[in-house]
């Protein structure tokens, strides 16, 4: 067991108009995992419901409005100062017009069968690979 504080984060597999999945590349200035591909989302605010946190985070990172779907899975990671529990949700984007925040430097819409070819953060790989097989 770890005595590190536990944070909750909401990540999303966002499907676009053509059924492709949105991936965001972490900025090279990022202190955590620069240059890695990531799922949109982030820290859940304790004053918000999880779906509201998810919509807020996706909008802040991409400018997209989303419709939240089902729960796809969970993941975890650990840094030197905390543990993070991730709830991974499915969502549908209302458009494909992405406006990136400074947190990421690139985005791509990926066919689900091509997801295994991306250097994704490892904690999300099992859920993303399961999505690719659907």
Six-digit token pair at 79? 């840094």
Query: Is the pLDDT assigned to residue 23 strictly greater than 80?
Result: yes
* CA–CA dist 115, 105 (Å, integer): 19
Q: What domains lie within the chain, and their CATH numbers?
A: 6-132 (3.90.79.10)
Q: Return d(Cα 52, Cα 54) in angstroms, integer.
A: 5
Residue 36, token pair as written in the block: 């890695």
What's the predicted TM-score (pTM) here?
0.92
Angle at Cα 129 formed by Cα 93 and Cα 133, nearest 5°?
85
pLDDT in tens, 38-47: 999 999 999 9
- pLDDT tens per residue, range 51-109: 999 999 999 999 999 999 999 999 999 988 999 999 999 999 999 999 999 999 999 99
Strands (E), the chain: 6-15, 21-26, 37-38, 41-43, 66-78, 83-93, 104-110
In sequence order, the β-bridge partners of residue 34 are none
**Hey, what are 86's tokens?**
């991730």
Choice between 31 and 98, residue whose per-residue pLDDT is larger: 98
Residue 2 has pLDDT above 80, yes or no: no
Rounded mean pLDDT of 124-131? 89
DSSP lists the bridge partners of residue 21 as 15, 110
């Amino acid at each position: 067991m770890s005595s590190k504080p536990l944070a909750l984060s909401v990540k999303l597999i966002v499907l676009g108009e053509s059924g492709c999945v949105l991936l965001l590349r972490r900025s090279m200035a990022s202190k955590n995992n620069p240059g890695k591909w990531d799922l949109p989302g982030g820290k859940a605010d304790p004053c918000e419901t999880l779906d509201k946190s998810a919509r807020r985070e996706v909008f802040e990172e991409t400018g997209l409005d989303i419709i939240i779907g089902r729960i796809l899975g969970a993941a975890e990671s650990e840094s030197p100062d905390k543990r993070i529990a991730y709830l991974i949700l499915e969502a549908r984007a209302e458009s494909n017009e992405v406006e990136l925040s400074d947190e990421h430097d690139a985005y791509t819409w990926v066919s689900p069968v091509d997801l295994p070819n991306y250097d994704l953060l490892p904690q999300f790989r099992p859920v993303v690979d399961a999505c690719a097989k659907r």
